Amino acid sequence: MNRHGTVVFWVICCLLLLSGCFQSAPKESSKDESETISPMVDFPEKVPVIIEPPQIVVSPIDEMIGQMTLTEKIGQLLMIGVDGTVFSDEMDNLIRNYHVGGVIMMGRNVSTTPEMLQLMNDIKKANEPNKIPLFMSVDEEGGRVSRLPAGIPKLPASAKMGQQYDETVSYRAGSYLAEVLQEFGYNMNFAPVLDINSNPKNPVIGDRSLGTDSGLVSSLGIATMRGMTDNGVISVVKHFPGHGDTIVDSHKALPKVKTSLERLRKVELVPFQQAIEAAADAVMVAHILFPALDPDYPSSMSKAIITDLLRNDMQFEGVVITDDLTMGAIANNYTIPEAAVQSFIAGSDLLLIVNGYDNQINTVNAFVKAFEAGDITEQRLNESVKRILILKEKYDVTDDVKESVDVEKLNELYQKFIIHLK
């Protein structure tokens, strides 16, 4: 082979070798060639995350309020007095059609035990068509403030109880009060008095107070309160922010007390603050002008005293009740409907109107007008109605009638109580 042929030969060999290098290696498979290859896995499309809104749980009381009419709500704010010793058409109208929240029994309603029991039962029966039971209330302090018929033993005056300075005796006194009042069908008592007898010229408190020392009044007053509440009767402590240092009877005119908030905090407010910390359910606000706190309105109509002081500063969350709005301290200076609306705006829940059928009807009408004018909002109205309904539920308030009063039992209870008095 000549030199040219030799070159051609080696070129051909190189080309053959190069072509072999670029061929794919044969596939090795342990599987049968008829077996299909699984397709690529398809991932699901992205699912949107749905966040459920939090479910709002409506309490039975809130549900009830949501179903109440405006008249029913306004009615719950009223605690009324009634005339005479027998049931009347006026009482029937206020209870059935105006849905009042409660009734207070006064001295003018006291007759014999059977007659008084009949009057209370008739009041409750009139409320049967309504959804919400009545507060049946009374001022039963003992001593000179008592609404018990003859033959039912009453407690000594608070000053006498204060002289014992014994919390156990005071607790027993509250327990006895609860037993007596429940025999008649009461569920609320405007007691104990937490006023400090700090002014000997005071014409309205005096021996209604437990004493002159805030510590004594606090400890014995709270013991009496617990004696009642532990035995099923609502205790309303009174007369906030303190009626002991007045020289004017608020039943007749408006007392004016020139004292500072600092003095009130050190003396008059002490029993109320301690009662609140001891879970007081209800506080009655007095008709007294405290210029240092509010130069314009008496305490029972003052936002500075009811909302700012009692609710916000002293952290009271229960029911606020006015003293009787038909007392001279208010009636001499305002119309009753005007005072009631202002008191409610200031923070009161229950408005006590003891006297005057017209006063009671006109107050309802004044509330309707204030609501329509926007002076009272539905939220504010619902707040007070809710406090009232919570208190009624807490004490299982009912309109159950009482068949009779066991006078012998009450006398035996009293005899067991007085053996502890010194």
Please say if 313 is a catalytic residue.
Answer: no
Q: Is 239 among the residues known to form the active site?
A: no
Note the pLDDT of residue 50: 73
CATH code of the domain in which 76 resides: 3.20.20.300
Residue 81 structure tokens: 């007095």
Q: What is the pLDDT of residues 202-218, one digit of tens each?
A: 888 999 999 999 999 99
Q: What is the pTM of this model?
A: 0.86
Please check whether residue 36 lies inside any domain of the structure. Answer: no
At 246 the pLDDT is 87
Give the start-end residues of each E strand in 303-397: 319-322, 351-353
What is the domain extent for residue 178?
A: 68-417
Whether the CB-CB separation of 116 and 403 falls below 8 Å is answered with no
pLDDT of residue 46: 63
In a domain, 43, yes or no: no
377-407: per-residue pLDDT in tens? Answer: 999 999 999 999 999 999 999 999 999 999 9
pLDDT score for 24: 45
How many separate domains does the chain show? 1
pLDDT higher than 70, residue 172:
yes
Res. 250 pLDDT band, cuts 50 70 90 = very high
Note whether residue 128 is domain-resident: yes
Residues in contact with 354: Cβ distance below 8 Å, sequence separation at least 6, in sequence order? 80, 81, 104, 106, 324, 326
Would residue 50 count as lying in a domain? no
Q: What is the pLDDT of residues 112-123, one digit of tens each?
A: 999 999 999 999
Residue 27 in any domain: the answer is: no
Least confident of 33-37, 195-199, 328-332, 417-421: 33-37
Distance CA 205, CA 284 (A): 15
pLDDT band at 416 (very low <50, low <70, confident <90, very high): very high
Whether 40 maps to a domain, the answer reads: no
Q: Out of 92, 122, 213, 251, pick the active-site residue.
A: 251
Confidence tier at 42 by pLDDT (50, 70, 90) = low
Residue from 323, 324, 349, 399 carrying the catalytic annotation: 323
Q: What are phi and psi of 254, to 5 degrees?
A: -85, 115
Residue 97 lies in a domain: yes
The least confident of 86-95, 166-175, 178-187, 249-258 is 249-258
Residue 179 reports pLDDT greater than 60: yes
CA angle 363, 367, 368 (to 5 degrees): 120
The answer to the question of residue 393 being in a domain is yes
Q: Do residues 335 and 367 lie in contact, with contact meaning Cβ atoms separated by under 8 Å? A: no
Q: What is the dihedral of CA 70, 74, 75, 78, to 10 degrees?
A: 180
